[in-house]
Amino acid sequence: MMSNRRLLLLSSSTVEGAGYLDYYENETKDFLGREVKRILFVPFASVIKTFDEYAMMVSDRFQAMGYEIDSVHQASNMNEAVRSAEAILVGGGNTFHLLSALYETGLIEIVRERALSGTPYVGWSAGSNVACPTIKTTNDMPIVQPPSLNALGLVPFQINPYYMDAHPEDHHGETREQRISEFTKVNKGVYVVGLREGSTLRIEGSKISLRGERQARIFISGEEAREYSAADALEFLL
């Protein structure tokens, strides 16, 4: 069922020293190719910006790449908009807000169906989180309560976007690694990919590769977390 999936899962929208989505432009264009002309944007992760404002910002950026953006929230029939989309783009923000809206609009099953059948799917941050089986490894606060934490399930592993190793001086709370280790302790057999800023996972059917200059840190219960680079095979995740 998943043999046709084409996914580009970005850790973040920005990287230090680069503008909005600038760091990922070449990878995004290579992934989408010249066949895609119009992309359907899902803005539901936005909380502070209105959906209109978010869609306009993304539209301006993607037009600079040569793509037209339609936002699903502006469609007269959202179901049909997803069904006819050339590609689907899911932006970052609050993961709980995003997942809740996908359930409320009834789009979660249609987006899943289209993505698994081969419609290109690009997500960053929260948009990468919802591609996983659940959103349990998001960094976000549960500002709303979705009907379920189960997400799109486009991949069998979890992602922790913006993964960082830092433990600030005088900070006595848990590190990111400790929190992910808690997840793997009670979710045995589920891999978690700590995806650092500037890193991307590209999935084409049963092939997966890490893109970008930074390593990913991968966790699973019963084993020490390990670092993986773009040169390493990651098919074990699938």
- Residue 108 is given by DSSP the state H
* Residue at 154 is within a domain: yes
Give 173's DSSP letter: S
- What is the pLDDT, as a whole number, of residue 168? 61
Range of the domain at 32: 6-237
pLDDT level of residue 1 (50, 70, 90 thresholds) = very low
pLDDT the model gives residue 15: 84
pLDDT at 45 over 80: yes
Q: Is residue 1 part of a domain?
A: no
| Residue in the structure block whose two tokens are 């469609």 | 75
The verdict on residue 155 lying in a domain is yes
Does 196 score more than 90 pLDDT? yes
pLDDT in tens, 11-28: 999 887 788 888 899 999
Entry field: residues in the chain: 238
Tell me which residue of 231, 202, 204, 203 sits closest to 215, measured CA to CA.
231
Report the alpha-carbon distance of residue 18 to residue 9 in Å, rounded: 18
- pTM of the predicted model, to two decimals? 0.95
Q: Where residue 26 sits, what CATH number does that domain have?
A: 3.40.50.880
The answer to whether residue 2 scores a pLDDT higher than 70 is: no
Residue with the larger pLDDT of the pair 22 and 223 = 223
Q: How many domains does the chain have?
A: 1
Judge whether 55 lies within some domain: yes
Over 80: is that where the pLDDT of 32 sits? yes
Question: Residue 132 — pLDDT band, cuts 50, 70, 90?
Answer: very high
